[in-house]
Amino acid sequence: MLTPTPLMGLVTGFWSFKTFAAAVELDLFTRLAGGRTITVAEAEDQLGLPERPADLLLTACASLGLLERHGDGYRNTELAEEFLVKGKPYYFGGQVTYCDQRTYLPWHRIGEALREDRPLTWDPATQESMFDTADPVMLQSFWGAMHSTSVFTAKSLAQHVDLSHSKRLLDVGGGSGAYAIELCRSLPGLTATVFDLPHVCEIAAANVAEAGQSDRIGATPGDFLRDDSLPGGHDVVLFSMILHDWDEPANQRLLSHAYEALEPDGCVVISELLLDADRTGPAPAALMGMNMLVETVGGRNYSDAEYAGWLAAAGFTDIRTVRFDAPGANGAVVGVKPAG
């Protein structure tokens, strides 16, 4: 029998997110690292909560698959232990915090964004883009979120897209350096250059140094939207979670610049949440497109067929789509610059 139960799941989706975000804000999962357990009484003391909220929070986190019952208390599930404990290499809490603090309230005005086709998290009248800011709090929040999403996505990319013969990678809009770091860890013969705005390159350089990769990864400042070309001398150009931020003309221009910058036989890799060709999903890609309405002027998510068309128009051949499962991408579209 058809029931409205699935609709109730949509209506109450924010309950799950805000419960999750509150637990991350309270450092609940970090407190339970290494197999530690917590009872309701201990949560009252350690989290500074009254008994009823402590009980409700632990119960709700268990229902979401973030905690599991162990004796009289609760402990992290494998998922929470791997990705929600601060200091772990694939810590995902930055993404949770960013969405909670930066985009959650603007999303309450999504109807306004739909009617006016205007972002809600920044003002286009005073900024060129959401990335045009020197606000240290915003920078820390945004790049923390991007780093936590990108590191595991980059690991999946390295496992599914064969770059074993590549030597020099240009990460366009490489942000925090997460992709460059993870790809160089996975591919011992690879060196990389992060190409991004000057203040972002400083963030990337710090992360690269912390990862012990400064001898293999450099950061070159520039503005890929304004510059007439991209740095040359590379045999891979990577656009990782970048092209969804911009409209079709900007993306076509960037792919043409990538073609000109690449060495013959080099390849371009577009790592994204790809829409299906019939534009019916999948939901993560389609909803990320809605988030682009909230956060960008012209961005949207595209299908691999659209990317393939743009790559062909730029001169790329041997265009293919490689599918994988990751937080920031469900696949990559790859094109090759012919040798002759």
Domain boundaries, the chain: 5-83, 93-336
Q: What average pLDDT does range 192-212 have in this prediction? A: 94
Residues 6+ apart with CB under 8 A from 338: 264, 265, 315, 317
Residue 227 CA neighbour count, 13 Å, CB half: 18
Q: Which residues are catalytically annotated? A: 244
Q: Which CATH number does 5-83 carry? A: 1.10.10.10
Q: Which CATH number fits domain 93-336: 1.10.1060.10, 3.40.50.150, 3.60.150.10, 1.20.140.10?
A: 3.40.50.150
What DSSP string runs through 250-303?
A: HHHHHHHHHHHHEEEEEEEEEEE-PBPTTS---HHHHHHHHHHHHH-SS----B
Tokens matching residue 27: 């450092």
Chain segment 56-113, per-residue pLDDT in tens: 999 999 999 999 999 999 999 999 999 999 998 888 998 999 899 999 999 999 999 9
Lowest mean pLDDT among 136-145, 159-168, 181-190: 136-145
Residue 66 · residue 77 · CB < 8 Å:
yes
Rounded to an integer, what distance in angstroms lies between the CA atom of residue 250 and that of residue 257? 11
Residue 261 CA neighbour count, 13 Å, CB half: 25
pLDDT at position 37, please?
A: 98
- For the entire predicted model, the pTM comes to 0.93
Chain segment 287-297, per-residue pLDDT in tens: 999 999 999 99
Query: What angle in degrees, to the nearest 10, is found between the helix axes of 136-160 and 198-210?
Result: 60
Please determine whether the domains at 5-83 and 93-336 fall in the same fold group of CATH: no
pLDDT at position 145, please?
A: 73
Distance in Å from the first CA to the final CA of the chain: 62
Which of 140, 151, 141, 152 shows the shortest CA–CA distance to 103?
141
Q: Is the pLDDT of residue 133 over 70?
A: no
Per the DSSP assignment, residues forming a β-bridge with 100 are: none
pLDDT at position 223, please?
A: 95
State the pLDDT confidence band at 136, using cuts at 50, 70 and 90: low
pLDDT at position 89, please?
A: 82
pLDDT at position 146, please?
A: 76
Q: What is the mean pLDDT of the chain?
A: 94
Q: What average pLDDT does range 132-160 have in this prediction? A: 77
What's the sign of the alpha-carbon dihedral 269, 274, 275, 277? Answer: positive
Q: Is the pLDDT of residue 198 over 60?
A: yes
